[in-house]
Structures are given as C-alpha cells and as structure tokens.
Amino acid sequence: MLITPEDLAAIVADVGLDALMDESIEEFENALHDGDLDVRRRDGFATGRDGAAEGAAGGAGMLEWMPAARRGDTVALKVVGYQPANPRARGLPTVLATSTLYDCRSGALTAIMDATFTTALRTGAASAVATRHLADDGSKVLGVVGCGAQAVTQVHALSRVLPLSRVLAYDRDPRVAWSFPGRVAFTGLPVDVVDLDELERRSEVLCTATSVPPGAGPVLTGLELAPAAHINAIGSDLPGKAELPAGLLARAVVCPDFLPQALVEGECQRLAPDRVGPSLAEVVAGGLGDSLRGLLTVFDSTGYAVQDLVVAETVLRHARRIGVGSPLPTFTGAIDPLDPYCLVRRATSAVRAGAATR
C-alpha cells in the first residue's frame, strides 16, 4: 500500500485531528505494555556538508533510520531527515520522514507512507502519555520553548490530556513566535507570546522543542521552575545536543523514552546511567506515576521507533477502512523464485502485453 500525503489528508478528514491524536495517544500507551515489540537504537549519517544553506542555519543535518518490529508480523523502518535549514532554504519542514512496513514472514514491502505528519503526531502523543503519568493532572498552564512544527502537536496532544486554560510561547526567532498562536488556534486555547523568564515562572508543564545546535544549549535556565513542574524535552536527539541545564537534570527525575538511545542522544547523555530515572515504559507499565507526581520530572523524548511502528499501523488500518492508498506494484504471474532474470523477463512480457492492450 502506497499512502500519499493526500491519502493521509483523506484519513484526517474522515477521522478528525482530535480523534486521531486521541487514538495515537492510546495506541502508544498500549504499546508500552506490549512484550512482542522489538526496537533498535536509531543510527544515521551526518548530512550537513552541503555548504551555504546548512551553514546559515548553524547546524548540521542528519539522516537516520529507526527500526522496530512487532515480532512475527511486521517490521517498520522510518527514515527521518533532520535539517534545520529546510524551512528557510527549501520551504520544507525541518523533519522530513518516510515510513516503510515489511511482512516479517516473507520480507516483502507492504506499505510506504510519508511520515512527516505522523512524526509530529506521534511525538505529541508520546509527550501526552508522559504528561498523563508524570504531571499534575490539574495543570492549566503549558509553556512551549521553540515554536516550530513539533510545538504544534505538543500543544494539541497536551490539550487532550490536561485541563489547559493557557499556553505560553517563546521562540528566539520572533517571527516564529508570533506566527505560533495562529498555528494552534484550532485548539481554542489562548496563547501568550512571552519572554523565557516569565514562561519558566508561570508554566506548570513545559515542552522544549528546539533546533539548538549541539554544544549551544541549554535553552532553559531552570531557575524559577515550579518544584513539581513536568518538562517534555523533545528536541534533544543528537550527541552533544542539550535543551535542559545540567543542574535541572540533577534535581529532576529524568524518564527516557528509550534508554540506550537517550544515553547517546538525549538529555540523559549528561547523566551517569545510575542517575537516570525509570523509562516511560517502566513508569506506565509499573504504575510509577503516582509516586513521582509531586516531583520535578523530565520526559527525555529522543524519538522511539515503537511510536513510528504504532502510528504507521494506525494509518494503515484507517487507509484500509476508508479505502484510500494505492496497491504497491509487485511481481505478477507465475514467477520462478529460483530465477532472478525470470522476474524481469516476466515483467517484460507483462509490459508488452499491457502496451498491446492499452
């Protein structure tokens, strides 16, 4: 099945953004209880050598693959490009992604879909799950540091699990900050563009979602945070990249999405392994949230391939239900599995036959 951005739009139109976000939140939380999932740490190539455009945005790009498997059934592989120069240089999102699904039994490709929208969706959903378990469930004020594409789904997702009455927004680029209220207007929440000090002082829950280059962080001061604040740190996803100050990490309970990855790319890379708190899966499956809720907590969200597997499966299920998506071309006819040239000879005949009947 080939699922295009237009097919995704048809699914969103049918399901509705709120319902799709709610479903993504529930499916991800369910997956954290699922023992039949297998995940590998993200790996990738640095891709920032291209000169002017990348240099202008100050940071290098990455192209990474994120593998996850539902054992005996499906392997999902997301390839995700991170290129801070994309918005200005190309009018494209910083994060562009493609998901492919494979049948574990045969090895065949079963689906390919653009995963740019679903990456934003699932990153929001992950913060919602973390927030539901780690934040005060009466939290009304959400602060967002970094107001790019990912911040939109952070606000949307948290609005589904908290009784929010106000969003505080900060971005070091004023144009990005001032366009933010319009981009989240669909939530109905009032948004105040504020300075960082005010945001840190007034927010009960925070999300950091920046493209701060490795070595240039942190982006929060952490000086005036509420004692039981909860922070979803979603931007730290490269070695050396850090959004939170070390002093804040030292006094918080830091819950990684995927420890082996967070120790390399996440906020956890600045913590000794024995200083890292329980993983989100341990919090959720172990019901640890109640014991942590009065403390300063951090969800170290580096991006977990299970999220991508689950959201791709959700999209595929809806695509089948409403009948969108195109079949992927595959081998046709009685191929000889022992003859690789048969594949192209058969297909040649099919092409010729097709041409003759057109």
Shortest reach from residue 50's CB to its own copies, in Å: 5
Q: From residue 165, how far is each of 147, 156, 159, 220, 344 by CA, in Å? A: 18, 13, 9, 23, 61
Tokens of 276: 């890292």
Among 22, 26, 166, 183, binds its own copies (CB under 8 A): 183
Q: Counting contacts by CB under 8 A, is residue 220 touching its own copies?
A: no
Neighbouring residues of 17: CB distance < 8 A, sequence distance ≥ 6: 156, 186
Nearer to its own copies, 261 or 297 (CB): 261
Separation CA 77–CA 278 (nearest Å):
26
How many residues bind its own copies, per CB under 8 A?
93
Helix (H) or strand (E) holding 77: strand 74-82
Closest CA to 189 of 157, 166, 162: 166
Find, among 20, 186, 2, 225, the residue nearest to 112 by Cα.
2
Is 322 a residue that touches its own copies (CB under 8 A)?
A: no
* Contact status: 347 vs its own copies (CB under 8 A): yes
Nearer to its own copies among residue 246 and residue 344 (C-beta): 344
Question: Can 140 be counted among the known catalytic residues?
Answer: no
Catalytic residue (one of 15, 25, 28, 78):
78
| Least distance CB 250 / its own copies (angstroms) | 33
Q: Which of residues 194-213 bind its own copies (CB under 8 A)?
A: none
Query: CB of 265 within 8 A of CB of 238?
Result: yes
DSSP reduced 3-state for 253: strand
Instruction: Choose, by CB under 8 A, the member of 22, 26, 102, 226 that binds its own copies.
Output: 102
Among residues 35, 341, 357, 358, which is the contact residue for its own copies, using CB under 8 A? 341
Instruction: Considering only residues 123 through 152, tell me which ones interact with its own copies, judged by CB under 8 A.
Output: 147-150, 152
Q: Which of residues 15-44 bind its own copies (CB under 8 A)?
A: 17, 38, 40, 43-44
Query: Residues with catalytic annotation?
Result: 78
